[in-house]
């Protein structure tokens, strides 16, 4: 069963040389699915090849994640727990630690519309490249996200969605109760309901989802409304949420309950939001015991790099796992 790359993340383990070709082929398949022409698909194939080759040669293996982007783009993410590297040196054409021509990262930077990297010595690296047919589309609100099912299953019971209007963004994360197809159905209902909704306040949206999901097994849900100066948050169930302001992180309050079944009176909480602040939402498939100060400079990197780093280090493989990092443009 082929998963929807706009619904959840494609994941490919890369450890051996023969994994490189597999990763490249799936990248081309995804490029075709999002509507890329031959020229753009070739760029995607080259990026996937470089990512996978570097994982084998330099990192002792890792994973390549892929997802379709709203607006017609495609994202590839390379994640490893290897020795790390000096980005300034590695990006220079001619630099190599394995005797190769040393054009890999420089080539990726030229092929991609956006390219972001974070690496720490002995902790590993996260590299994210996105390709868009129209470079203007890459100026949309920056979002980093990974959404993967429990190991051994195909469908993820988690999901997320964003509604954007001038001056306001609505970000939702949904964790269907349990995992598997029934959890995925509950989350699909939540996503479809939100996408068809108007820009209502978070509490009103939670009530709307509660009504729509009564025939499902229910879910934990978090919804945040973000304006240039304020974040309004409503959370029901076990969804982790932080507002990241530089190296200062503030936990956002959620309430016990199950949307669609046993839901208490919805309370919302307001927080100051400043330019550059980032909202991070994650399901209970991730351990929330992270400290952004343990990752020098990470708080100021692109949302997709932050999402990839935290996902790598805090994922619980025995549950569906999703993280969304969102920063207003």
> What's residue 100's pLDDT?
41
pLDDT-based confidence at residue 198 (cuts at 50, 70, 90):
confident
> What's residue 16's pLDDT?
96
> What's residue 309's pLDDT?
98
Mean pLDDT of 172-180: 96
Of the candidates 60, 30, 72, 69, the one whose C-alpha atom is nearest the C-alpha of residue 47 is 30
Q: Which stretches within the chain are classed as H helix?
A: 18-33, 38-54, 87-90, 104-111, 181-195, 202-212, 303-314
* Span 177-192, pLDDT tens digits: 999 999 999 999 999 9
> What's residue 138's pLDDT?
62
* Span 276-318, pLDDT tens digits: 999 999 999 999 999 999 999 999 999 999 999 999 999 998 9
What mean pLDDT is reported for the chain? 91
Domain ranges of the chain: 10-138, 141-327
> What's residue 140's pLDDT?
57
pTM value?
Answer: 0.93
**Fold annotation for 10-138:** Heat Shock Protein 90 (3.30.565)
> What's residue 89's pLDDT?
53
Mean pLDDT of 6-30: 96
* Span 133-164, pLDDT tens digits: 987 666 556 899 999 999 989 999 999 999 98
> What's residue 31's pLDDT?
96
* Span 69-128, pLDDT tens digits: 988 899 999 999 999 987 665 555 543 444 443 346 888 989 999 999 999 999 999 999
What span, in angstroms and rounded, lies between the C-alpha atoms of 136 and 230?
Answer: 27
Q: Please, what is the Cα angle at 129 between 299 and 134, to 5 degrees?
A: 110
Say whether pLDDT at 19 is over 90. Answer: yes
What percent of the chain shows pLDDT beyond 70?
Answer: 92
> What's residue 216's pLDDT?
97
> What's residue 137's pLDDT?
64
What span, in angstroms and rounded, lies between the C-alpha atoms of 23 and 25?
Answer: 6
Q: Please, what is the Cα angle at 95 between 94 and 100, to 5 degrees?
A: 75
So what's the architecture of 141-327 in CATH?
4-Layer Sandwich (3.60)
Residue ranges with strand state E in the chain: 10-14, 62-69, 73-80, 114-120, 124-131, 142-148, 158-165, 168-176, 219-226, 230-236, 240-245, 248-251, 269-272, 278-282, 321-327
Say whether pLDDT at 41 is over 50. Answer: yes
């Amino acid at each position: 069963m082929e998963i929807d790359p706009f619904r959840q993340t494609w994941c490919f383990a890369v450890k051996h040389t023969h994994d490189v070709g597999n990763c490249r082929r799936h990248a081309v398949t995804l490029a075709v699915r999002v509507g890329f022409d031959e020229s753009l698909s070739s760029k995607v194939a080259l990026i996937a090849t470089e990512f996978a080759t570097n994982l084998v040669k330099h990192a002792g293996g890792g994973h390549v994640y892929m997802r379709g982007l709203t607006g017609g783009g495609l994202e590839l993410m390379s994640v490893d727990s290897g020795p790390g590297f000096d980005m300034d040196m590695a990006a220079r054409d001619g630099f190599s630690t394995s005797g190769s021509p040393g054009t890999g990262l420089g080539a990726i930077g030229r092929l991609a519309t956006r390219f972001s990297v974070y690496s720490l010595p002995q902790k590993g690296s996260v590299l994210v490249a996105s390709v868009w047919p129209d470079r203007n589309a890459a100026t949309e609100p920056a979002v980093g996200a990974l959404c993967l099912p429990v190991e051994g299953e195909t469908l993820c019971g988690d999901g997320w969605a964003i509604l954007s209007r001038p001056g306001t963004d609505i970000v939702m994360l949904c964790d269907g109760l349990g995992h598997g197809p029934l959890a995925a159905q509950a989350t699909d209902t939540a996503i479809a309901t939100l996408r068809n909704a108007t820009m209502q306040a978070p509490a009103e949206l939670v009530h709307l989802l509660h009504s729509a999901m009564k025939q499902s097994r229910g879910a934990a849900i978090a919804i945040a409304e973000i304006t240039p100066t304020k974040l309004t948050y409503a959370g029901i169930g076990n969804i982790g949420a932080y507002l990241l302001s530089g190296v200062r992180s503030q936990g956002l309050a959620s309430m016990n309950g199950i949307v669609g079944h046993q839901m208490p009176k919805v309370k919302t909480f307001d927080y100051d939001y400043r330019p550059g602040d980032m909202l991070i939402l994650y399901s209970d498939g991730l351990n929330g015991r992270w400290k952004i100060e343990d990752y020098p400079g990470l708080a100021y990197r692109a949302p997709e790099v932050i999402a990839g780093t935290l996902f790598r280090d805090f994922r619980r493989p025995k549950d569906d796992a999703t993280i969304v990092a969102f920063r207003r443009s």
